[in-house]
Amino acid sequence: MSNTEHYTRIVKTTAQSLGFGYCGIAKAEQLDEDARRLEAWLNQNRNGTMQYMENHFDLRIDPRKLVPGAKSVITVLQNYYPEQRQSVDAPKISKYAYGNDYHEVIRTKLKEFLLQLNQQIGSIQGRGFVDSAPVLERAWAVKSGGGWIGKNGNLINKQHGSFYFIATLVVDLELQYDDPFAKDYCGSCHKCVDVCPTNAILENKVVDGSKCISYFTIELKDQLIPDSMKGKFDNWMFGCDSCQDVCPWNRFSQQHQEPGLSPIPEVLNLSAAQWEDLSEDAFKTIFKDSPIKRSKWSGIMRNLQFIKD
């Protein structure tokens, strides 16, 4: 067995031991086709007020500019599908936000991943990224065989569906590369497009971020939600899972086993009235480790009022 094969086996075995549901590897190189798609998306103002999407374009399309000497991009998937559900009268929260902030949970695991690789292989330079740096995670997931991009813009894994976080580890180690996922298994299915409350899902796997409920309830800071969206939120207060909930591939979703993503009791149990009565101090205490804090108490109160009116 060559060193490359041996190291690759170590990478995948270590990822599995850390609880990642999938691990694939692609060659670190510039993403020319994805660069063109991203540029077109930005030029059409699909990012709304998310100005950060326009920053560091050159870094987004080439991981070698993030990690000098990078040779491989390791992609891992972390399942977040919960067994529990919110009470029926609660304003709806996206499933990814049921537990602690996934950035912290997965970042800790990526650091341990790199540490273990250094212990087993030798000195490796690398950086882990989880939805907080200029990395095109979905593109790397496809290039490393993790699945295909659905009509709703989500990565879909044939065995497990789409309720996964995507994280990448860029390293200066040459490894065996997986074949890209070449087939699209969405076929003629149109369920995610039809169910989208705000018609944010367009043709050719394009999602207009400036129309997405997740954008309005999370990313739109210190501004009122446009009146044109009144009555269209389907009771979503933080994020939106409508397109994933109807996806036939998510019938294969299984409960995650990551303790850090276990639901915060209040997320499951607070009624609409209790949310409305929640003080800012209580909000900060209860959700100090939750991604819900991204919207801040003022944003949550705005969202609640909007879906109530």
Q: What is the pLDDT of residues 65-89, one digit of tens each?
A: 888 899 999 999 999 999 999 988 8
Please give the structure tokens belonging to residue 248: 């036939």
SS (HEC) of 249-301: HHHHCCCCCCHHHCCCHHHHHCCHHHHHCCCHHHHHHHCCCCHHHHHHHHHHH
Residue 53: pLDDT over 80 = no
Question: Residue 220: is it exposed, middle or buried by C-beta count within 10 angstroms (0-12/13-18/19+)?
Answer: buried
pTM (2 decimals)? 0.90
Whether 239 contacts 197, CB under 8 Å: no
Residues 75, 144: Cα–Cα separation, whole Å: 7
In which band, very low, low, confident or very high, does the pLDDT at 52 lie, cut at 50, 70 and 90? very low
pLDDT band at residue 2 under the 50/70/90 scheme:
confident
Bigger pLDDT: 204 vs 174: 174
Angle, CA 218 vertex, CA 213 and CA 220 arms, to 5° = 90
Q: What is the pLDDT of residue 41?
A: 53
175-193 pLDDT, tens per residue? 999 999 999 999 999 999 9
- Is pLDDT at 306 greater than 70 in this prediction? yes
98-120 per-position pLDDT tens digit: 999 999 999 999 999 999 999 99
Among residues 253, 245, 100, 76, which one has the least CA distance to residue 165? 76
Amino acid occupying residue 70: A
What residue ranges do the domains of the chain occupy? 3-171, 191-246+264-308
Q: How many angstroms separate the CA atoms of 212 and 214, rounded?
A: 5
Q: Is the pLDDT of residue 57 over 70?
A: no
Query: Cα–Cα distance between 25 and 70 in angstroms, integer?
Result: 13
- Interval 136-172: pLDDT, tens: 888 999 999 999 999 999 999 999 999 999 999 999 9
Q: 86-99: b or e for each residue (b if 16 or more CB lie within 10 Å)?
A: beeebbbbbbbbbb
Res. 33: pLDDT tops 90: no
| Average pLDDT score over the chain | 90
241-268 pLDDT, tens digit each: 999 999 999 999 999 999 999 999 999 9
Top-confidence range, 9-13, 60-64, 208-212, 221-225: 9-13
CA atoms of 13 and 182, how far apart (whole Å): 25
pLDDT band at 47 (very low <50, low <70, confident <90, very high): very low
**pLDDT of 44:** 58
What are the catalytic residues? 131
pLDDT at 40: 57
Q: Choose among 135, 169, 164, 132: nearest CA to 147.
A: 164
**pLDDT attached to residue 248:** 98
Q: Evaluate whether 197 touches 233 at the Cβ level (below 8 Å).
A: yes
**DSSP-assigned letter for residue 131:** S
* CA atoms lying within 13 Å on the CB side of residue 220: 20
Q: How far apart are CA 155 and CA 162, in angstroms?
A: 6
What is the pairing mode between strands 22-27 and 72-79? antiparallel
pLDDT at residue 225 greater than cutoff 50: yes
Average pLDDT of 190-203?
Answer: 94
DSSP 219: I
pLDDT at 32: 64
Token pair for 264: 């915060």
3-state SS of 47-115? CCCCHHHHCCHHHHCCHHHCCCCCCEEEEEEEECCCCCCCCCCCCEECHHHCCCCHHHHHHHHHHHHHH
Mean of the pLDDT values across residues 17-36? 85
